[in-house]
Structure 1
Amino acid sequence: MVTSTAPEAELAPIEQAKKRAAFACGEKYVQSGCRLGVGSGSTVKYLVEYLKQGYQNGQLKDIICVPTSFLTKQWLIESGLPVSDLDAHPELDVCIDGADEVDGQFTCIKGGGGCLAQEKIVQTAAKHFYVIADYLKDSKHLGDRYPAVPIEVLPPASQPLLRSIPRDEGGSCQLRQATKKCGPVVTDNGNFIIDWQFEKNVSGRDWLAIQQRLANTPGIVETGLFIGCVDAVFFAYSDGSVKEIVNTKKH
């Protein structure tokens, strides 16, 4: 078992929850020899901490880490972990990533950090996909916790898509703006992000059909909807507990 070296008391409660979820998932599903897709975001940094400790103390041997973003790659390199890519390792055993929201059907919204396309590419290369999250990401219906679906788009298509997506799917769209530079957020792939604020409280919404329509729209690279791919979710709660919820439809 790999244990955390940093006292949890030094972390805010929400960060403690993220760390417990990451460590619980890593302990159960990452083994020596694992070819691992490593996701992006604030919860994944604790997974990298888990991997670093296990690799350095010899409990995790011969692992290969394939990152889903530039930042995750930097975390892995700084931690001294073996880093590769899908060119060298096109088939992965496991992918572990965070999420912005997970509903009762294991449908996820991802992409709050702007890495959705690469995250989905790495996820689809893995045999199993596990989500790690704090209790604030647990919802009954999409939209209860997170207000929008991120959509990565080619820059020349951004203005037409800002109009066509609300016209065809309802709701409203905004081009995500950067906070440390003038202009829009630019992804690791050189694209823009449109945040589609979909209408809430729509009964019987078919997310798979929506995903297919959006994916077939010229100019859209990928959406932040992850449907039918999650094997299990690890939610960590404010009382210190971690609950693994298994998607029985995949088992």
Structure 2
Amino acid sequence: MEILPANSRPTTSRAMTTNLVEEAKRLAGIRAVSEHFDPSARYVGIGSGTTIIYVVEAIKEVIKQRNITNNIQFVPTGYQSRQVIVDAGLTPIAFDSLPDGVMLEVAFDGADEVDEELNCIKGGGACLFQEKLVATRAKKFVCVADYRKNQSRLLTSWPSVPIEVAPMAARTVITALRALGSPAPKVRSGILAKAGPLKTDQDFFIVDAPFKPLLTASDVRNGQDGSGKDGVWDIETLCQKIKMISGVLEVGLFVGKNGYETQAEGGQGGQKPVAAYFGMADGSVEVRRARPGTSLDIV
């Protein structure tokens, strides 16, 4: 029997925490699918990350239990999510193969952090550009996460805003981000640092830009200054400022209107989720819903 050195043995508490988080993700996925997956749908978006594995498992189980002839096509947000779809025996379709004018019935995706107004940070898995494409092509974007992602303000726990940039513009973008008040923006390294920067599916770089916690629309309405003074920004203003930098493809802030609100105005989908499902440490699932309109419900 091999005896590991004490400092290399996984602690019981660490293993318990890992199991707790994974179970929280699983329960959140099951609940979200039970309330938002329509087996008669023609197209469904599938996001990236570890939580989405449980969403796909739950969808597969619904199809199996109801003995449904599966004609649904699933739109992935990247290579990893496509493999999850394929491994589940479901049918993927590329985003740019969707028929003109057709919307996804729903898009399920995770998040790195979600605030109390359902603004999200995404891009920890480097798929933020395709994630935003899919979210804004869906009638509703449903976020699925564990309790660690549930924060009152963005950049409370998650350290930075992911930004997808053209490689040749990376240094220019970093300089511009410093001017906006980010203290130490940097290009994200690959798994092996010696192999160079991480590359997205678009062959772009990811720049991670830390900022102070971001103000919500409610904060601004209540008189707080989110114009960037002293490095304090509100979410929408910062997102717009970063998006305007030459060389930026997309910003990992999902803000503005949700699908309900956008469609009410004659548009398509929105960047913000219509609901966020958080698997909690006690085995429950907390749901934060945006009703058609602007109000939020937490159950």
Taking structure 2 as the reference length, the TM-score comes to: 0.76
SS of 1:92 mapped into structure 2: coil
Asked if 2 retains the 8 angstrom alpha-carbon contact of 1:114 and 1:187, the reply is: yes
Higher strand share: 1
SS of 1:184 mapped into structure 2: coil
In the alignment, the residues of structure 1 paired with residue 116 and residue 214 of structure 2 have an alpha-carbon distance, to the nearest angstrom, of 15
Q: In the alignment, which residue of structure 2 is the partner of 1:216?
A: 244
In the alignment, the residues of structure 2 paired with residue 79 and residue 54 of structure 1 have an alpha-carbon distance, to the nearest angstrom, of 12
Distance 1:19-1:197 versus aligned 2 partners, 3 A rule: same
Q: List per-residue Cα deviations over 1:138-168 (Å, max 9, x = no partner).
A: 0011111201000000000001111111112
Q: List per-residue Cα deviations over 1:84-113 (Å, max 9, x = no partner).
A: 123332521111100000011111000001
Give the one of 52, 56, 74 matched to 1:48: 56
One-letter identity of the residue aligned with 1:132: V
> Does 2:93 align with 1:65?
no
Q: In the alignment, which residue of structure 2 is the partner of 1:23?
A: 30
For this pair of structures, how many residues does the alignment match?
Answer: 242
One-letter identity of the residue aligned with 1:49: E
SS of 1:40 mapped into structure 2: coil
In the alignment, the residues of structure 2 paired with residue 104 and residue 172 of structure 1 have an alpha-carbon distance, to the nearest angstrom, of 26
In the alignment, the residues of structure 2 paired with residue 113 and residue 129 of structure 1 have an alpha-carbon distance, to the nearest angstrom, of 18
Which 10-residue stretch deviates more, 164-173 or 226-235?
Answer: 164-173
Asked if 2 retains the 8 angstrom alpha-carbon contact of 1:231 and 1:250, the reply is: no
Taking structure 1 as the reference length, the TM-score comes to: 0.90
Distance 1:106-1:59 versus aligned 2 partners, 3 A rule: farther
In the alignment, the residues of structure 1 paired with residue 144 and residue 289 of structure 2 have an alpha-carbon distance, to the nearest angstrom, of 12
Q: In the alignment, which residue of structure 2 is the partner of 1:5?
A: none
Q: In the alignment, which residue of structure 1 is the partner of 2:278?
A: 235
Tell me by how many angstroms 1:31 deviates: 1.2
Tell me by how many angstroms 1:66 deviates: 0.4
Larger Rg: 2
Tell me by how many angstroms 1:250 deviates: 4.6
One-letter identity of the residue aligned with 1:33: S
Q: CA RMSD in A?
A: 1.9
Q: In the alignment, which residue of structure 1 is the partner of 2:170?
A: 158
Asked if 2 retains the 8 angstrom alpha-carbon contact of 1:174 and 1:196, the reply is: yes
Asked if 2 retains the 8 angstrom alpha-carbon contact of 1:171 and 1:199, the reply is: no
Q: In the alignment, which residue of structure 1 is the partner of 2:182?
A: 170
Asked if 2 retains the 8 angstrom alpha-carbon contact of 1:133 and 1:236, the reply is: yes
Q: In the alignment, which residue of structure 1 is the partner of 2:97?
A: 88
Asked if 2 retains the 8 angstrom alpha-carbon contact of 1:32 and 1:59, the reply is: no
Which 10-residue stretch deviates more, 53-62 or 42-51?
Answer: 53-62
Tell me by how many angstroms 1:59 deviates: 5.0
SS of 1:161 mapped into structure 2: helix
One-letter identity of the residue aligned with 1:93: E
